[in-house]
């Protein structure tokens, strides 16, 4: 029935990786620009790879320790699957980083030589390498495990191990990269704009290189690992639920099939959906070249909205051809459209009327700017969470708990395209910085600014998509956890888990779970603030002690490596606490207080984490774009350097760690907690 997808899934993943390699070689063959551009691009690439190398060393040690623990408590296959998930997550991040640091300089050069359309395609191709590697590596890893271990008695633990490997690496990569990028960004902005009064991306500022490095380690490698983890976790949740369902329960997938056929269909369906989504994304990535002369905003929005429609149509054709229930197709439709709606809502709250209200409030000072931004952030949580609730409710009515997991897989179906457009943003941003520092002129900077402005919008949509899919994935993982606990208890003739809100353990679990997002949010915000302070001090020292630097004398260069080193050390040190909280809290709560308390903790963390992550990500994006609106002259009577602009800079400074560190960190916290809980379900049952 669906067995063919065990062959087509890895084949599609392999094709995606081949296309990614071709695009990388295509970008690499383009001219890198002037000697000054090559020098600046070299600094950015060197700093990015240095951070990644040091981060990898820490994560390698962590992976070996967890491998030993899993081997002892579970089995060698589960431990090996954990390593596979970790390695593929790291590989996806490295591929994206490598591509981005080659594409940024060539995007600037394409803008200089050939204009906007050429620059758009270079940045897009660079982002496509990231998108195709994330989806391609994910589907290859998952399909290989299903192909080789489906009949193994430890299959469920093995697939869980793969998910935990992807999740834990993503956690550290996202939080570490987020701390780095915002510490460098805030430090460079404060020292440059506020203290020295020089423009953004000014070559005199020692923190500018570190800021551009941060775009790569946070918004490319970190975001890639985050989406890779969601992609894997949604599939793992779907497989876990299918394995835990009774033959009678599996009847919702279709009639006229045996129980074993339906169980296999339930396991392989997410692979089939992922394959359809990946093929759709590859076609869209290649096809975008037909629209390269269109406005960047039109081309990229089309790239985000068109593939889900094709994905839905192809799913209806597949389900109809193999005779499974049409409810599967409707559930996929709910998930895919829900993801698109969340992206559009995020776009609205971070680039439309709400942002103009924040810009207007800047006229009366930084205080009113911050108040208005908080209000917009809180308001922006309402509709996305309502959309997720609707998707979850109707998916449950169509296919039960399995339907919620299928909707999560569908929401992530065209991950390759979403990640492509998201990774495009940091590349365009870097290209603008390189153009400014290389003094390529106003015409080039106008092109890179337009590409960057679109990139800010697509990045906001990407964050909304990531958080929305994370919440739906966590709901599915929560359902899978309960079913696995019930299955383990049934084997011992024990009663199923009852989540009674009057039960003390459940209530305590809810409160403990609600605490955890606050811990991660506080620790990451504090980490950014402390690291940014160190960078501000270092930049001030260089302005004072390097003769002619602030005056811009010819031949005088700042020591960019010092700022990169400060940000790297701070990020790698400060990512340990939030990462440890996410990994340790499920076994501690579950083993000390029981499965009911752990279920309560997952529910509490999910609700608080969903609200906090959406609030922080959207408020931060709105503050950022309010500042940019004033800089572009959208506010009559105000311009760059005015009092309103200075107030908006303060709001943007607060919003930077909101949107790129704490918000995403909390989002990935709730996913990691759920995946780890799923893996230890039989131990705490």
108: helix, coil or strand?
A: helix
Q: Which residues of the chain have pLDDT under 70?
A: 1-3, 5-6, 192-201
CA distance 165 to 579: 13
CA distance 560 to 568: 12
Which residue has tokens 């009057």? Answer: 502
User: Could you tell me which residues come within 8 angstroms of residue 585 by beta carbon, excluding any fewer than 6 positions away?
Assistant: 512, 516, 601, 673
Q: Are 347 and 461 in contact (CB under 8 A)?
A: yes
What pLDDT does 589 receive?
93
Best CA proximity match to 92, nearest among 220, 202, 201, 265: 220
Structure tokens at 108: 């600037």
Structure tokens at 653: 């400074």
Ordered DSSP codes for 639-664: -TTSHHHHHHHHHHHHHHHIIIIIHH
CA distance 185 to 172: 19
User: Could you tell me which residues come within 8 angstroms of residue 412 by beta carbon, excluding any fewer than 6 positions away?
Assistant: 227, 230, 231, 234, 277, 339, 469, 473
User: Could you tell me which residues come within 8 angstroms of residue 419 by beta carbon, excluding any fewer than 6 positions away?
Assistant: 127, 130, 131, 134, 135, 223, 224, 227, 462
What pLDDT does 398 receive?
93
Q: Are 198 and 190 in contact (CB under 8 A)?
A: no
Q: Where are the alpha helices (DSSP H) in 206-352?
A: 207-216, 223-244, 259-287, 296-322, 326-351
Structure tokens at 156: 């469920």
Sign (positive or negative) of CA dihedral 393, 397, 401, 404: negative
Q: What does the pLDDT look like over 77-124, one tens digit per residue? A: 889 999 999 899 888 888 888 898 999 899 989 888 888 888 888 988
CA distance 44 to 48: 6
Residues in the chain: 685
164-190 burial by CB neighbour count: b if 16+ within 10 A, else e?
Answer: bbbbbbbbbbbbbbbbbbbbbbbbbbb
What pLDDT does 18 receive?
94
Structure tokens at 549: 């630097």
What CA–CA distances, in Å, run from 291 to 288, 299, 368? Answer: 5, 6, 42
Sign (positive or negative) of CA dihedral 83, 88, 93, 97: positive
What pLDDT does 73 receive?
80
What is the Cα Rg of the chain in Å? 24
What pLDDT does 1 receive?
54
Helix, strand, coil percentages, rounded to 5, for the chain: 85, 0, 15
Structure tokens at 523: 């620790």
Q: What does the pLDDT look like over 117-137, one tens digit per residue? A: 888 889 889 989 999 999 999
CA distance 280 to 306: 10
CA distance 447 to 435: 10
Q: Are 669 and 582 in contact (CB under 8 A)?
A: yes
CA distance 54 to 61: 11
Q: What does the pLDDT look like over 589-601, one tens digit per residue? A: 999 998 899 999 9
Q: Are 96 and 220 in contact (CB under 8 A)?
A: yes
């Amino acid at each position: 029935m669906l067995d063919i997808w065990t062959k087509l899934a890895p084949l599609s993943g392999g094709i995606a990786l081949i296309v990614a390699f071709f695009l990388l070689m295509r970008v690499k063959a383009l001219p890198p620009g002037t000697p000054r551009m090559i020098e600046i691009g070299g600094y950015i690439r060197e700093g990015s790879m240095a951070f990644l190398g040091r981060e990898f060393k820490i994560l390698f040690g962590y992976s070996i320790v967890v491998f030993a623990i899993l081997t002892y408590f579970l089995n060698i296959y589960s431990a090996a699957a954990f390593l596979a998930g970790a390695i593929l997550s790291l590989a996806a991040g490295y591929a994206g980083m490598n591509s981005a640091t080659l594409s940024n300089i060539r995007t600037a050069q394409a803008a200089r030589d050939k204009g906007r359309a050429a620059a758009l395609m270079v940045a897009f191709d660079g982002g496509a390498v990231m998108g195709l590697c994330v989806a391609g590596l994910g589907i290859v890893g998952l399909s290989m495990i299903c192909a080789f271990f489906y009949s193994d008695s430890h299959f469920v633990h093995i697939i869980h191990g793969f998910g935990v490997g992807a999740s834990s690496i993503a956690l550290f990569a996202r939080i570490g990269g987020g701390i780095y990028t915002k510490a460098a960004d805030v430090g460079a902005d404060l020292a440059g704009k506020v203290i020295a009064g020089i423009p953004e991306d000014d070559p005199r500022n020692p923190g500018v290189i570190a800021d551009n490095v941060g775009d790569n380690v946070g918004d490319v490698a970190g975001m890639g690992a985050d989406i890779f983890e969601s992609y894997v976790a949604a599939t793992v949740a779907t497989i876990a639920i299918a394995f835990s369902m009774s033959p009678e329960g599996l009847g919702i997938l279709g009639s006229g099939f045996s129980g074993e056929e339906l169980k296999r269909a339930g396991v392989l369906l997410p692979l089939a959906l992922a394959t359809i989504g990946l093929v759709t994304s590859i076609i869209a990535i290649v096809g975008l070249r037909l629209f390269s002369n269109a406005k960047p905003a039109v081309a990229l929005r089309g790239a985000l909205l068109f593939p889900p429609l094709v994905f839905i149509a192809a799913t209806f054709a597949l389900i109809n051809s193999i005779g499974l229930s049409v409810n599967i197709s409707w559930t996929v439709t709910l998930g895919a459209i829900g993801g698109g709606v969340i992206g559009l809502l995020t776009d609205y709250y971070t680039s439309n009327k709400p942002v103009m209200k924040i810009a207007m409030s800047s006229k009366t000072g930084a205080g009113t700017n911050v108040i208005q931004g908080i209000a917009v952030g809180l308001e922006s949580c309402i509709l996305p969470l309502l959309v997720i609730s609707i998707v979850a409710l109707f998916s449950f009515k169509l296919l039960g708990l399995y339907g919620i997991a299928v909707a999560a897989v569908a929401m992530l179906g065209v991950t390759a395209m979403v990640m492509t457009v998201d990774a495009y943003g940091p590349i365009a941003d870097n290209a603008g910085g390189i153009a400014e520092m290389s003094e390529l002129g106003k015409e080039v900077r106008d092109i890179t600014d337009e590409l960057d402005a679109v990139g800010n919008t697509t990045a906001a949509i990407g964050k909304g998509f990531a958080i929305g899919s994370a919440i739906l994935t966590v709901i599915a993982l929560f359902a899978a956890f309960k079913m696995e606990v019930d299955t383990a208890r049934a084997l011992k003739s024990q009663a199923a888990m009852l989540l009674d809100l009057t039960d003390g353990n459940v209530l305590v679990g809810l409160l403990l779970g609600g605490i955890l997002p606050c811990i991660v949010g506080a620790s990451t915000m504090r980490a950014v603030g402390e690291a940014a302070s160190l960078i501000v001090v270092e930049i001030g020292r260089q302005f004072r002690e390097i003769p002619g630097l602030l005056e811009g004398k010819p031949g005088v260069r700042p020591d960019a490596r010092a700022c990169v080193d400060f940000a790297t050390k701070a990020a790698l040190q400060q990512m340990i606490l939030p990462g440890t909280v996410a990994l340790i809290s499920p076994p501690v709560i579950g083993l000390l207080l029981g499965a009911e308390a752990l279920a309560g903790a997952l529910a509490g963390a999910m609700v608080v984490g969903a609200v906090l992550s959406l609030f922080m990500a959207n408020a931060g994006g709105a503050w950022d774009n309010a500042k940019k609106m004033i800089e572009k002259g959208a506010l009559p009577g105000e311009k760059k350097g005015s009092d309103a602009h200075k107030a908006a800079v303060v709001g943007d400074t607060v919003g930077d760690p909101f949107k790129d560190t704490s918000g995403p960190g909390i989002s990935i916290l709730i996913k990691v907690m759920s995946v780890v809980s799923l893996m230890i379900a039989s131990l705490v049952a």
